[in-house]
Amino acid sequence: MARISIFGIGYVGVVSAACLARDGHDVIAVDVDAGKIAAINAGLAPIVETGLDELVEEVVAAGRLRATDDVQHAIDATELSFICVGTPSAEDGSVGLGYVETVCRDIGRALARKDGRHAVVIRSTTVPGSTEGTCIPALEAASGKRAGADFGVGYYPEFLRESTAIKDYYDPGLIVFGALDPATAETLTALNAPLGCKIHAVDLRTAEMVKYTSNTWRAVKVTFANEIGNIAKSAGLDGQTVMEILCSDSKIALSPYFMRPGFAFGGSCLPKDVRALRHMAAANGTATHLLDAVLEANAAQIARAEKMVRDAGHSRVGFVGISFKPGTDDLRESPLAELASRLIRAGVQVDIYDPYVSEAYSSGHSAAGRGNDVIPDLKDRLIDDLDRLIEGAGAVVIGNLYNETVSRLEEAAANVPMLDLTRLNRRLVSGGRYQGICW
């Protein structure tokens, strides 16, 4: 079993740390957030994620997971470090490497005082060339050592989906990594061997590109499906039926998850990664017509939903869901949050039912409301009771689909205007009090 330090107790970091600890590895989670550190050491998950509370409690109790802000201790006590900090978009749309570079310098300073070999593996999403152009120079400058010779370096992207992250960890559709040295490649191969998935060992830049290609492809598929849905609706056709038939063609191996007409994409990955890939291509003198259209069309889908709500003409609107997808409390670049903020600025009273965001607040998570920078007084707008939300609303916006709400919302659709961005039921089509965004 390996001794591993995880830098960054965010969504990727805490899930990776808990799963590695479950597999028998000795794991130290490192962060500057005292609240997250305290939560982990108390056996509590710092974020809302299916199955994570129980898993963190289990591995902390077993003594295989602990958290600290002491970088030197973490490096001295482990042999492998994963960097899992955020890479938010910069002002110009390029990938923001500030957090990654800071952590690399912190690790480098600790490596300078450590005898013996250590490997540093970046899991944060970075555009091709970032590991070589930013991470390695920062590590070498701070440590006074040479990458690939005195310490190992790798890039190992994650493909975890929020709300199904633990399941995805143990049943990955794709494993790819790049390593600067054979020892790091062997370590990453050994860690992934039990997962039963083909392992793609490539160079650092290719591994970085695969991550962006994967996320950008998901973004392209969502936008394509929405456009087909909009066009189909204008012709009196059902876009979801059209796309379901297309996805039944197994020869082109299309995942139906993203090929479902509905609302805009959002979250911590797709928007910023499309922007970053566009920026990198522009810097290389390469045009990106489709990527330009992806972001333009995604913004247009939010505007389309805004027009639907405005046309309904109600001064009070209830939102079912505000996070960027069901099953998580993450509001980073949530299109629902953006839609709500526009309505609030226009003078509309917005109430919100979101069980996962509410759970984060009621549990006292230090990261409650994470990613929200557009909705004022978010906590005060949350309503735990769906009936109360419906009764107080002039219209209901169905943004996220929660199984426990379907029957009640279907019942209410007969009396309350419903603006559906996800589709409660395939039998429902636009007409009367009910309007679907593209069906």
Question: Per the annotation, where are the binding residues for substrate?
Answer: 159-162, 211, 258-262, 266, 325
Confirm if 11 and 330 have CB atoms less than 8 A apart: yes
> What distance lies between CA 238 and its chain's CA centroid?
29
Instruction: Look at residues 375, 401, 393 and name the one whose alpha carbon lies nearest to residue 320.
Output: 401
Catalytic residue among 104, 247, 269, 438: 269
Cα separation, 422 vs 402, in Å, equals: 10
SS (H, E, C) the chain: CCEEEEECCCHHHHHHHHHHHHCCCEEEEECCCHHHHHHHHCCCCCCCCCCHHHHHHHHHHCCCEEEECCHHHHHHHCCEEEECCCCCECCCCCECCHHHHHHHHHHHHHHHCCCCCCEEEECCCCCCCHHHHHHHHHHHHHHCCCECCCEEEEECCCCCCCCCHHHHHHCCCCEEEEECCHHHHHHHHHHHHHHCCCEEEECHHHHHHHHHHHHHHHHHHHHHHHHHHHHHHHCCCCHHHHHHHHHCCHHHCCCCCCCCCCCCCCCCCHHHHHHHHHHHHHHCCCCCHHHHHHHHHHHHHHHHHHHHHHHHCCCEEEEECCCCCCCCCCCCCCHHHHHHHHHHHCCCEEEEECHHHHHHHHCCCCCCCCCCCCCCCHHHHECCCHHHHHHHCCEEEECCCCHHHHHHHHHHCCCCCEEECCCCCCCCCCECCEEECCC
| 84 classed as catalytic | no
Contact 418, 437 (CB under 8 A): no
Please report, in range form, the residues annotated as the binding site: 31, 36, 87, 126, 159-162, 211, 258-262, 266, 272, 325, 332
- Known binding residues for NAD(+): 31, 36, 87, 126, 162, 272, 332
Question: Among 123, 127, 122, which residue's Cα sits nearest to residue 92?
Answer: 127
The length of the chain is 439
Question: Which residues, other chains included, contact 364 with Cβ-Cβ below 8 Å and sequence gap of 6+?
Answer: none
* Residue numbers annotated as active site: 269
